[in-house]
Amino acid sequence: MSGTFAVGQTLTGSDGQWSGALPITLSYAWFRCGYYHEVVGLNPTSYWRLGDLPGTTTAADASGHGHNGVYHHYPTLGVPGAMNGDPNTAVSFNGSDNYVSDSSNSYPTGSAASSVSFWFISPRMPSSSSPTTDLAGYPGLFVKLAPLGKLQVNSSVSPTVLGANIWYHVVAVDPGGGALKLYVNGQPDPMTGTAQSTKAGGEFDVAGDSAGNATSVTVDDVSAFPAALTAAQVQGLYNAGIQESPPDGCTQIAGATSSSYQVQQADEQSKLTLQVTAQNASGSATASSPEKIIRTPGPSNIDQPAIGGTPSVGQTLSVTNGGWDGAGPITYSYQWERCGYRDAILADHPLGYWRLGDVAQKTILDTSGNNNVGSWGGASAVTGALRGDGDAGFVGGSASIPSTGGLTPRGAFTVEEWLKPATDSLPIKVIAMEGADWQFRLESNKPKLDVQNASFAHSVALSSVPITDATHWYHLVAVFTGTQSQVYVDGVLRGTGSSISGSVRTDNGGPLIFDGTAGPVD
């Protein structure tokens, strides 16, 4: 076959070469093949190929029903998948907190028939003392990985021991009453068990759940069906995954009987093959082309959009579409966004937000809109921490904001700032405080948050790493959860304090102070 393997394009097949008594006549038949085609042909309720791009948090549903899943805690996307010759990728889960969930509650309940299918491979099988953890399913039809590498469906455990580093195709079938059925690599498994007549339904999970039943495993092509798959259908799924040559995993396309074929939308993600049959007076023979997967390219940006106009209040901005590559027609939609650190802060609805770029003024302005203004004491302006922002910071002296009711914490609170340390050997330096009720300070250049409660108990979080690079702006965040102090440095939790109870001490009074004597602050 030759041509562009995308929807709307025309493919052309060659006859190949044939020997035999003449005359020889040729006929043609085009086939859709592949695991995707086989699954979709069985009308799944949900079908997660798990071939989503790294960095995404949505597991796209290929069934057409919109039951998209959610990737929790960033499993590893884009790893090689199970399918023979299919570039679609799989997802690896860490066995700690990674999993996929679909909360659409779209799965059979009560005594209704149901089936779950997926592929998995594990780098190691659990020991005899390991807990049973999740593979794929929902309440009422859930496949799990039991000790020694045995599969478990609901509470029924298979006697078969599976091995590590081997791809397995697993199908669990609830026929709507009677005996549960389990298939591994297309073959019936000797597991025995009774189907639940009162399936609860609910969330569909893959490789773990919110209760922490996570499995260290790579999973590919998970599908759920509102019917009991037959043994022939299960075998067809397995064959489609590993063989994909007519007739295994392939279906002839009605009316496609010429040597050329225009690719249809129904071919997307399937593989196409052309079967040529040669016939003479003595008989006939067939040969098939190699399968080619249909992947219509989505839009790819080759020239960035550009904004035109005067960027000031009251002016109108316009945008060019930029340059795009991909199968046409391409349509465009637009979404304007506010970007930058300022907008990220304001999206969190702070009680006060002082940009600290107004040292030349007498008043420290509050950008939060809450009008918690302050005053300067002996500070000098310096270039700020944020690249391309244009706003300044300060060094030396302090910024002082009166402690109003809203700014005096009695429970949970967060304080953040940017700091560039003056040296790598600072003495103990307070960098932020409110009276003596809480202090955020540096000790041996390590950020430390000390919070007192009304009973004078302390929760003290000390960063495990010092901030010593005098050329680097560090982003520091002090958090009191309501019971525990925490310190973050450049987005990473670096220290956690002991737990205390009760409200934060407030009787010391005093303003909210940001001190610039340890180095520039922003």
Residues 187 and 250 in one domain: no
Q: Is the pLDDT of residue 454 over 90?
A: no
Q: Is the pLDDT of residue 363 over 80?
A: yes
CATH of the domain at 280: 2.60.40
In a domain, 237, yes or no: no
Tens of pLDDT, residue by residue over 372-406, are 999 999 999 999 988 777 788 999 999 999 887 67
Q: Is the pLDDT of residue 21 over 60?
A: yes
Q: Give the pLDDT score at 247.
A: 56
High-pLDDT (> 70) share of the chain, %: 98
Q: Is the pLDDT of residue 84 over 90?
A: no
Residues 264 and 350 in one domain: no
Q: 3-state secondary structure string, 134-177?
A: EEEEECCEEEEEEHHHEEEECCEECCCCCCCCCCEEEEEEECCC
Instruction: Kindly compute the dihedral angle of the four CA atoms of residues 415, 418, 420, 424, in this order, to the nearest 10 degrees.
Output: 40
DSSP state of 160: P
Helix (H, G, I), strand (E, B) or coil at 147: helix
Q: What is the mean pLDDT of residues 302-321?
A: 90
In a domain, 236, yes or no: no
Residues 59 and 30 in one domain: no
| Token pair in block for residue 460 | 């003290």
Residues 315 and 352 in one domain: no
pLDDT top residue among 512 and 168? 168
In a domain, 140, yes or no: yes
Handedness of CA 358, 468, 494, 506 (dihedral sign): negative
In a domain, 520, yes or no: no
Q: Give the pLDDT score at 245.
A: 55
Residues 289 and 302 in one domain: no
Residues 385 and 492 in one domain: yes
Q: What is the mean pLDDT of residues 247-276?
A: 87
Q: Is the pLDDT of residue 17 over 90?
A: yes
The range of the structural domain enclosing residue 450 comes to: 343-515
In a domain, 522, yes or no: no
Q: Give the pLDDT score at 47.
A: 98
In a domain, 120, yes or no: yes
Residues 282 and 302 in one domain: no
In a domain, 443, yes or no: yes
Q: How confident is the prediction for the chain on average, in pLDDT?
A: 91
Residues 191 and 54 in one domain: yes
Residues 194 and 254 in one domain: no
In a domain, 3, yes or no: no
Of 205, 229, 253, the domain-final residue: 229
Q: Is the pLDDT of residue 318 over 80?
A: yes
Q: Give the pLDDT score at 161.
A: 97
Q: Give the pLDDT score at 244.
A: 55
Q: Give the pLDDT score at 388.
A: 72
Tens of pLDDT, residue by residue over 476-514, are 999 999 999 999 999 999 999 999 988 887 766 688 899
Q: Is the pLDDT of residue 342 over 70?
A: yes
Residues 307 and 427 in one domain: no
Alpha-carbon distance of 66 to 226, in angstroms, equals 16
Residues 154 and 93 in one domain: yes
Q: Is the pLDDT of residue 248 over 70?
A: no
Q: What is the mean pLDDT of residues 273-281?
A: 94
User: Please, which pLDDT band fits residue 105 given cuts at 50, 70 and 90?
Assistant: very high
pTM of the model: 0.59
Residues 260 and 200 in one domain: no
**What is the domain count for the chain?**
4
Report the range out of 131-145, 234-248, 383-397 with the highest average pLDDT: 131-145
Q: Say which amino acid occupies 318.
A: S
